[in-house]
Amino acid sequence: MTELIDGNVHAANVRARTKVRAEAFAASHGRKPRLDVVIVGNHPASRAYVSTKTKMAHETAIDGRLIELPETVGKDALLAEIARLNADPAVDGILVQLPLPDHLDGQMMIDAIDPAKDVDGFHPMNVGKLFTAAKIDPEQMLIPCTPLGSLMMLVDTLGKGALSGRNAVVVGRSNIVGKPMAQLLLANDCTVTIAHSRTRDLPAVCRQADILVAAVGRPEMVKGDWIKPGAVVIDVGINRVATADGKSRIVGDVATAEAMGIASYITPVPGGVGKMTVACLLHNTVVAAEARARG
């Protein structure tokens, strides 16, 4: 039997713990932790994600603010906005929603964010810490939210220490998900393979996985017969596909219906990893606020 790992439940737990910390922060510092989210343009999915982020921030006792810039904003104006937020002592967390329009370089903007306020964990300084720290501690470091949320769900589901010695395959090598996910699994003593579009015999590589993380952005690419019986499957994909009635629905990178009965556990899409992405962003905002207050 395959059990679903419910992202809504895990995310609600993370948000509840984060709210307690945010309230304690406000009681001792006379202000709430603050997250400023910058969005450029009118990409509908991005707009939905940023409004979820600010709404969830408010529900978690975090002061969440949205800064909306037009699609045509230039590089210098966006850099100036980031510099303004870096210099504002009331701002604890800065997030620039990705993707940016083609004329803007996303990495340049990430590099411009003060690493202490980089609640996405994408700045090279925070990436460097993740890849070199003797111990990875989500209370002390800003770790990319989607991989952090995926790891939390794995540890909560399987138990602490249960990842040790397992074969983990991460399909996808992005800076945002694939590479940090592999690093977190390695830090939890998994034997890790990063697979990608050039990997030879990808189905056979996936079949070696006790833990399979799919982060490729291709709808239902991972088929049932790519999954080792009893494997734990983390589906990071969020793909909108057209339906026969002319509407659309969200599917992951895994053919979930085929995986049922083969995997031991699987994260659903929607309702899985995506929920943890936002919850971990709020967690990182409080971690950043506490660290900045300590000085």
Residue 115's contacts (CB-CB under 8 Å, 6 or more residues apart) are 123, 125, 126, 142
Q: Which of 120, 220, 235, 290 binds ligand LMY7XDAE (CB under 6 A)?
A: 120
Site for ligand LMY7XDAE in 29-58 (CB under 6 A): 49
Q: Which of 150, 188 has the CB closer to ligand LMY7XDAE?
A: 150
Q: Is 82 annotated as a binding residue?
A: no
Mark out the alpha helices in the chain (DSSP H runs).
7-29, 44-59, 75-87, 106-112, 124-132, 145-158, 178-187, 202-206, 256-259, 273-294
Residue 65 bridge partners (DSSP) = 36
Residue nearest ligand LMY7XDAE, Cβ-based = 274
Q: For this structure, is 135 an active site residue?
A: no
> Looking only at Cα atoms, what is the longest distance across the chain?
57
CB 34 within 8 A of CB 63: yes
User: Which entry of 53, 117, 179, 275 is annotated as an active-site residue?
Assistant: 53
146 binds ligand LMY7XDAE (CB under 6 A): yes
Minimum distance of ligand LMY7XDAE from residue 256's CB (angstroms): 12
Q: Which of 175, 199 has the CB closer to ligand LMY7XDAE?
A: 175
Q: Which of 33, 144 has the CB closer to ligand LMY7XDAE?
A: 144
Q: Is 172 annotated as a binding residue?
A: yes
Site string for ligand LMY7XDAE, 151-190 (x = CB under 6 A): ----------------------------------------
60 binds ligand LMY7XDAE (CB under 6 A): no
Q: Which of 191, 271, 291, 292 binds ligand LMY7XDAE (CB under 6 A)?
A: 271
Q: Is 15 left (phi over 0), alpha (psi -120 to 50) or beta?
A: alpha
Type of residue found at 251: V
DSSP 191-230: EEEEE-TT-TTHHHHHTT-SEEEE-S--TT-B-GGGSPTT
CA distance 239 to 249: 8
User: Which entry of 120, 210, 235, 253 is annotated as an active-site residue?
Assistant: 120
Minimum distance of ligand LMY7XDAE from residue 147's CB (angstroms): 10
Q: For this structure, is 223 an active site residue?
A: no
Q: Which of 48, 80 has the CB closer to ligand LMY7XDAE?
A: 48
Query: Looking at the chain, how many residues does it have?
Result: 295
263 binds ligand LMY7XDAE (CB under 6 A): no
106 binds ligand LMY7XDAE (CB under 6 A): no
Nearest residue to 214 (alpha-carbon basis) of 250, 246, 171, 260: 171
Catalytic residues: 53, 97, 120
